[in-house]
């Protein structure tokens, strides 16, 4: 009886041990099969573009007012025309940036513009259109994206993406450096910052998106535009400065009377 009971207990213990080993084995295999999805910078930006309108931007006509000027962007799968219209003290002026370069019209008559000024006018027109549809445009050939990890702003977690530009195709301001904070839950760009060259050094700006609205499927926002009032060395520092209230509100970037076709 003693031997039988002892053998039974030993058998039960052995079965428990085997069962435990099997469970551990299955757990290890299960963990190996569960791949942790880690998105790279390109994938994060792609998702951000998708939730903001995606391919709809590629074939659209967008018009809006910004300050005292009217802007029109016509895009047709790589063919584009970016327009700025306004009236100076006397004449109606229309600046056009397209695949063919820059052209200026005064009272609908094409005017010759020195190359040095044409570059500056084109950059000015392109800048407003560029910011109006972000993050669309961040997959252009001249764009280089780098993941900077994650950062928390106002208790919200963000992917932090740095954008730089190749000299070829990067425009006059190819040395500018941008940082985008992409919401981990919505994949929308809630904040962005950039550094730019000034005559006496480097300038910095930080923008906080607000007043989000969708017009015919495309996302538009306005921005609180902040200036840096402390000494810093990198645009990547601006998220922390904003979080700690060390930036100064400089202006508001507001798009009005938006239409999309």
Model confidence pLDDT, tens digit, residues 172-210: 778 899 999 999 999 999 999 999 988 778 899 999 999
What does the pLDDT look like over 123-155, one tens digit per residue? 999 999 999 999 999 999 999 999 999 999 999
Q: How far is 23 from 163, CA to CA, in rounded Å?
A: 47
What lies within 8 Å, CB to CB, of 245 at 6+ separation is: none
Average pLDDT, the chain: 89
Within 10 A of 35 (CB to CB), how many other CB atoms are there?
6
Instruction: Give SS3 for 35.
Output: coil
Nearest to 219 by CA among 42, 56, 43: 56
- Residue 248 CA to chain centroid, in angstroms? 22
Q: What is the pTM of this model?
A: 0.84
| Distances, alpha carbon 58 to alpha carbons 92, 165, 245, in Å | 29, 21, 38
Domains of the chain: 41-260 (2.50.20)
Contact status, residue 239 vs residue 181, Cβ threshold 8 Å: yes
């Amino acid at each position: 009886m003693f031997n039988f009971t002892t053998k039974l207990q030993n058998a039960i213990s052995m079965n428990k041990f085997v069962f435990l080993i099997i469970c551990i084995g299955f757990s290890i295999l299960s963990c190996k099969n569960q791949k942790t999805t880690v998105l790279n910078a390109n994938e994060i930006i792609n998702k951000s573009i998708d939730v903001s309108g995606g391919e709809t931007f590629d074939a659209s006509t967008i018009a809006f007012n910004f300050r005292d000027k009217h802007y029109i962007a016509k895009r047709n799968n790589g063919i584009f025309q970016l327009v700025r219209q306004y009236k100076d003290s006397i004449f109606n002026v229309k600046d056009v940036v397209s695949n063919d370069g820059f052209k200026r019209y005064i009272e609908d008559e094409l005017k010759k513009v020195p190359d040095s000024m044409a570059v500056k006018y084109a950059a000015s027109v392109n800048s407003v259109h560029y910011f109006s549809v972000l993050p669309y445009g961040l997959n252009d050939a001249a764009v280089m994206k780098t993941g900077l990890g994650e950062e928390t702003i106002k208790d919200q977690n963000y992917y932090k993406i740095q954008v730089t530009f190749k000299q070829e195709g990067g425009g006059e301001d190819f040395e500018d450096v941008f940082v985008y904070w992409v919401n981990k839950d919505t994949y929308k760009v809630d904040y962005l910052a950039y550094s730019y060259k000034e005559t006496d050094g480097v300038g910095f700006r930080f923008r906080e998106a607000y007043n989000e609205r969708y017009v015919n499927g495309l996302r538009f926002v306005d921005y609180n535009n902040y200036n840096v009032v402390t000494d810093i060395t990198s645009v990547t520092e601006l998220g922390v400065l904003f979080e700690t209230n060390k930036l100064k509100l400089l202006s508001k970037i507001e798009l009005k009377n938006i239409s999309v076709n």
